[in-house]
Amino acid sequence: MLLAATKRKRALADLSAARFENSFVQSLPADPVVINVPRQVANACYTRVEPTPVAEPRLLAWSDAMGELLGLARPEPEAVQVLAGNRVLPGMQPYAARYGGHQFGHWAGQLGDGRAITLAEIIASDGSRQELQLKGAGKTPYSRTADGRAVLRSSLREFACSEAMFHLGVPTTRALSLVATGEAVIRDMFYDGHPAPEPGAIVCRVAPSFVRFGNFQILAANNELDALRALADYAIGHHYAGHTYASWYHEVCRRTALLMVDWMRLGFVHGVMNTDNMSILGVTIDYGPYGWLEGYDPMWTPNTTDAQTQRYTYGNQPGIAQWNLARLAEALLPIAEREPLEEGLNLYADTFNAGWREALISRSSSGDWRRCRLRAATNSCSRRSPRLSMTRRRHIRSSWPGCVAMSPGRASRTRAGRRACTGSTRSTSSAITSQCRPSRRSAPAMPRCSSG
């Protein structure tokens, strides 16, 4: 066993010796303008841009587990320069992605990678394709009025939580490295009008893809249908092989539902579930003002900017995810039929409701969450999840304070179920926009989703 471990360790290579690929850049339309200034971009999925060098990069943290998956050894000083954005290796074609999104329920127009730059893709030891992305690597055309940097405080939080979520069995982006920049970044930590310098840092994030719902939204909103179709074909070809547009969307809905079950059973609160923070792979992405429940409070949010509206509270997360999926469905209407998209939203509701019931049952028995996810995925193949007996419902209610198990049909007929989200400013189909109805009651019952 020791010999096998030694061989595996010796097989790890320095980042500078790695072989890189750039399928996203080579497959999709690029921004023809190469000037790196904040501006509106059209008819493109990304803009080629290089990271902005920093003064004194210093490695603070390295994930041995992630490095081993990528076949990378702990970085030498030259490799740290790459992870800090001071050097671009041969074979890398860095870019910032273009996307839009609904932020706090309102269409925000063009957003994009304002401080994240994807360096390249690398084929991992398990054969998977993984993207390397530097967060806090400097300004891009999508930075708007921001400085493109990140502080150590938030970067450390993302590094630690993304790796923790992975080891908790939750689909997530990963973190490879954390590098101090040696430069100060001005931030208003408490949003009280007193900005102050903080240590800067760059985290290297890793995922098979960083494509979000918002990548499709911005193309549909600007009627860039050729690029929209190309992006959908890319996502299917590289991450959902063999799927049609409809079955691909169904799978995105199913994965997102299972992700919400994971968040809810762990008491995780993302804090900023805008459509541009929703992954097309159904993984947790963008660790900003996240938090964890200490006591059960369905109306709690760690995001101080959401304290009044309470849109992204713990209890609202499953409904918000469904609302976001409806916005994605609207973006796909130019290339897909409406009825299969609506069926995808029903599948989301069935998958979440089945998974949530299994999670509550497992909490008082085996606690085997991976088996719970498998059963939820299997049970959601039918249009309606099986109804629970009244005895089982009472058992579930008693096992999790404040939660009420409800069938999809009953949930859609409640007063909260009749209250539609008001966030969309680009509704394309009333049938699609009517699917998600998150409650904003002061003390909501069990998180639930309507299947129509």
Active site (catalytic) residues: 276
Q: Distances in Å between the alpha carbon of 198 and those of 152, 185, 190, 195?
A: 7, 5, 13, 9
Q: What is the pLDDT of residues 48-77, one digit of tens each?
A: 999 999 999 999 999 999 999 999 999 999
Are 277 and 286 in contact, with CB atoms under 8 Å apart? Answer: yes
Helix (H, G, I), strand (E, B) or coil at 197: strand
State the average pLDDT over residues 18-25: 98
Return the pLDDT at 170: 98
* Beta-carbon count within 10 A of 200 CB: 23
Strands of 281-397, DSSP E? 291-292
Q: Which string of DSSP letters, residue by residue, matches 83-151?
A: HTTS---TT---EEE--EEEETTEEEEE---SSEEEEEEEE-TTS-EEEEEEET----TT-TTS-S--B
- Rounded-to-integer distance, Cα 380 and Cα 383, Å: 7
Q: What is the DSSP letter of 277?
A: G
Please state the pTM of the whole predicted model: 0.83
Q: What residues does 129 pair with on adjacent strands? A: 123
* The amino acid at 186: I
List the helix and strand counts (H, then E) for the chain: 15, 12
Is residue 430 scored above 50 in pLDDT?
no
Cα 206–Cα 245–Cα 112 angle in degrees, nearest 5: 40
Return the pLDDT at 317: 98
Domain boundaries, the chain: 2-209, 214-433
Please, what sign has the CA dihedral across residues 238, 66, 274, 345?
A: positive
> What mean pLDDT is reported for the chain?
85
Q: Distances in Å between the alpha carbon of 378 and those of 221, 239, 243, 375, 431?
A: 35, 21, 18, 5, 26
The residue among 282, 148, 163 whose CA lies nearest residue 211 is 282
- Rounded-to-integer distance, Cα 72 and Cα 14, Å: 6
Q: Is 70 exposed, middle or buried (0-12, 13-18, 19+ CB in 10 A)?
A: buried
Least reliable range by pLDDT among 100-109, 210-219, 301-310, 442-451: 442-451
Are 287 and 175 in contact, with CB atoms under 8 Å apart? Answer: no
Strands of 253-335, DSSP E? 268-269, 291-292
Is residue 417 scored above 60 in pLDDT?
no
Binned at pLDDT 50, 70 and 90, residue 336 comes out as very high
Are 221 and 335 in contact, with CB atoms under 8 Å apart? Answer: no
Backbone φ, ψ for residue 153 (5° rounding): -55, -55
State the average pLDDT over residues 397-408: 31
Binned at pLDDT 50, 70 and 90, residue 190 comes out as confident
Return the pLDDT at 365: 64
- Rounded-to-integer distance, Cα 91 and Cα 94, Å: 10
- Rounded-to-integer distance, Cα 122 and Cα 26, Å: 15
Is residue 398 scored above 50 in pLDDT?
no
Is residue 373 scored above 70 in pLDDT?
no
State the average pLDDT over residues 289-317: 96
Binned at pLDDT 50, 70 and 90, residue 88 comes out as very high
Q: Distances in Å between the alpha carbon of 15 and those of 61, 66, 68, 88, 176?
A: 16, 13, 12, 11, 12
Q: What is the pLDDT of residues 338-353, one digit of tens each?
A: 999 999 999 999 999 9
